[in-house]
């Protein structure tokens, strides 16, 4: 008898499909309530940090350059109070084979898939991760399918996403392009079940452990070059894996650098909306992913996400679209480094944050990404105009996502706005209660929630009291 392939039936089998496609029994880490053993899940990737470094070296991943942005530092100091203006550095992850830090995630996942005997890998992503998986799969002799949310209902695709599809295909991957909506996850599950391929998810322990080498490497490079750790590391935040892996790597190196997340402010736009889909100029690194995934990381394509940014976040800021475009050009014209938009999100934030810090301090932009046809500023702004978005020059704080993009009239107008991290923490706790449907939490749950929000048990109990939940 043929399997029921209706949407409802496939979704009902999601746990079974995922278990087979990842090779992890997530039930082993569960406590039966809110809590689960996160650190045990991460340990049972089966690879030490040194082993992952070796795996990545086999395919040319990692050991990327650390560059000081002396001209941008000088520019920041022109707008900073006297004695302020930290030195700005970037970790140039565009030097990886596929052009982004996500090669680190993909290298570990594809190695593990090959080790377990899978014939191919599948990734659901509209971003750089697809090309990273395609690249690493090609090196490992694996088949690759990338499932991509690309179009609105008119069949119109964003130039940046189409560029990434081109790169995936260049590495030999099959790209399945879909319109925005629930069909992405359904199609992903169907393909996993039909092919028996490995789920090369962004959110497995293998993927996050792959990013740990970035944080560790960054700390080692600074100690060799400057004799110290950076004071602050700014990480572009979307699904949380970039921030989680980098922070864990820094901690494994013994670094105490402040971890700052940065996202493009796309408040007011809904990421699953057909109407809003093409009214944004950033496909990743924005609040439409950053906030929902921070406040409920287990919305991902595995039962328990290994990307848990609130565990490591010290500060979370947003920047507007226009400022990121501006800093993209500034990086190219002042430093001679042309890079894509995602890493320049954290660069825009770092430019502003450096002005708050002392001159003898160091702030590092944790990653860059490659640029290409659809990622350049002009095609993105042209596409925005075609979708009715006004392109203005003025005060970026007046930008309204989905209505206009405001380029700063001069660098002094670039600002980063703080998000209330305590509010995000409470939102996460509320989502834990809602999604597990518990009426009373255990002491184990309280301890877990304190760890998962980088808070303390008193904070958690206060949040539970506000929700009327007993403990």
DSSP codes joined into one string, 175-199: EEEEESSTHHHHHHHHHHHHH--EE
Domain assignment present for 424: no
Cα dihedral sign, 36-40-45-51: positive
Residues 370, 239 share a domain: yes
Work out how many domains the chain is built from and give that number: 3
- Residues 196, 119 contacting (CB under 8 angstroms): yes
Residues 242, 105 share a domain: no
**What is the per-residue pLDDT across 345-354, written as a single tens digit (0 to 9) for each?**
999 999 999 9
Residues 105, 232 share a domain: no
Q: Cα separations (Å) of 325 from 92, 153, 322, 330?
A: 18, 27, 5, 9
CA nearest neighbour of 300 among 20, 22, 5: 22
Residues 186, 135 share a domain: yes
Residue 53, SS3 per DSSP: helix
Write phi, then psi, for 141 (nearest 5 degrees): 70, 30
Token pair 């944004």 is found at: 280
Residues 294, 242 share a domain: yes
Residue 254, SS3 per DSSP: coil
Domain assignment present for 2: no
Residues 325, 443 share a domain: no
Give the end-to-end CA distance of the chain in Å, rounded to a whole number.
48
Token pair 């090369």 is found at: 200
Burial of residue 442, with CB atoms counted within 10 A of its CB: 0-12 exposed, 13-18 middle, 19 or more buried: middle
Domain assignment present for 425: no
Which residue range(s) make up the domain with 403?
62-97+209-418
**What is the per-residue pLDDT across 26-41, written as a single tens digit (0 to 9) for each?**
889 998 889 999 999 9
Helices (H), 59-148: 70-79, 102-116, 128-140
Token pair 């991957």 is found at: 173
Domain assignment present for 1: no
**What is the per-residue pLDDT across 208-231, written as a single tens digit (0 to 9) for each?**
999 999 999 999 999 999 999 999
Domain assignment present for 165: yes
Residues 362, 215 share a domain: yes
Tell me, what's the pLDDT at 25? Answer: 87
Residues 214, 309 share a domain: yes
Distance, in Å, from the CA atom of 83 to the CA atom of 457, rounded to the nearest integer, reads 39
Neighbours of 83 (CB within 10 A): 9
Tell me, what's the pLDDT at 264? Answer: 97
Write phi, then psi, for 185 (nearest 5 degrees): -70, -35
Residue segments in the chain with a per-residue pLDDT below the cut of 50: none
The per-type count for the chain, helices as H runs and strands as E runs, is 18, 13
Residues 160, 177 share a domain: yes
Q: 205, 232, 256 — which closes off a domain?
A: 205
- Which two structure tokens, joined as six digits, stand for 388? 């009715």
Write phi, then psi, for 54 (nearest 5 degrees): -65, -45
Write phi, then psi, for 97 (nearest 5 degrees): -55, -40
Residues 337, 374 share a domain: yes
Residues 287, 147 share a domain: no
């Amino acid at each position: 008898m043929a399997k029921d392939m209706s949407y409802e039936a496939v979704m009902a089998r999601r746990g079974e499909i995922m278990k087979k496609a990842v090779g992890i029994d997530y039930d082993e880490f569960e406590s039966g309530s809110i809590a689960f053993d996160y650190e045990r899940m991460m340990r049972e990737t089966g690879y030490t940090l040194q082993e992952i470094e070796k795996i990545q070296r086999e395919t040319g991943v990692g050991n990327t350059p650390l560059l000081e942005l002396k001209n941008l530092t000088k520019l920041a100091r022109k707008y900073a109070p006297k004695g302020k203006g930290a030195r700005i550095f970037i970790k140039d992850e565009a030097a990886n084979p596929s052009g982004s830090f996500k090669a680190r995630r993909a290298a570990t996942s594809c190695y593990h898939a090959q080790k377990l005997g899978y014939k191919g890998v599948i990734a659901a992503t509209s971003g750089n991760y697809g090309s990273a998986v395609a690249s690493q799969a090609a090196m490992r002799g694996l088949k690759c399918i990338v499932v991509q949310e690309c179009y609105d209902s008119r069949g119109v695709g964003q130039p940046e996403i189409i560029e990434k599809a081109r790169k995936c295909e260049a590495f030999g991957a099959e790209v399945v392009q879909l319109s925005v909506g629930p069909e992405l996850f359904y199609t992903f599950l169907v393909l996993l079940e039909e092919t028996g391929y490995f789920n090369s998810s962004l959110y497995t322990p293998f993927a996050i452990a792959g990013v740990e080498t970035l944080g560790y490497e960054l700390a080692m490079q600074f100690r060799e070059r400057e004799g110290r750790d950076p004071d602050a590391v700014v990480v572009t935040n979307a699904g949380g894996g970039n921030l989680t892996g980098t922070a864990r790597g820094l901690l494994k190196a013994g670094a105490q650098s402040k971890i700052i997340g940065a996202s493009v402010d796309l408040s007011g736009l809904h990421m699953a909306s057909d109407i809003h889909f093409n009214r944004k100029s950033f496909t990743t690194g924005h609040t439409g992913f950053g906030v929902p995934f921070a406040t409920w990381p287990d919305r991902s394509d595995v039962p328990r996400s290994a990307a848990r940014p609130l565990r490591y976040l010290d500060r979370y800021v947003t920047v507007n679209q226009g400022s990121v475009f501006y800093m993209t050009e500034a990086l190219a014209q002042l430093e001679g480094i042309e890079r894509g938009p995602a890493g320049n999100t954290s660069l825009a934030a770092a430019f502003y944050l450096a002005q708050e810090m002392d001159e003898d301090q160091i702030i590092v932009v944790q990653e860059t990404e490659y640029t290409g046809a659809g990622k350049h500023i002009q095609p993105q702004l042209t596409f925005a105009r075609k979708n009715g978005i006004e392109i203005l020059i003025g005060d970026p704080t007046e930008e309204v996502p989905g209505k206009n993009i405001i380029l700063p009239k001069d660098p002094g107008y670039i600002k980063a706005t703080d998000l209330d991290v305590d509010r995000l923490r409470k939102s996460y706790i509320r989502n834990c209660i809602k999604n597990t449907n518990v009426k009373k939490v255990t002491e184990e749950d309280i301890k877990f929630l304190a760890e998962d929000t980088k808070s303390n048990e008193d904070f958690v109990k206060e949040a539970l009291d506000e929700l009327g939940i007993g403990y």
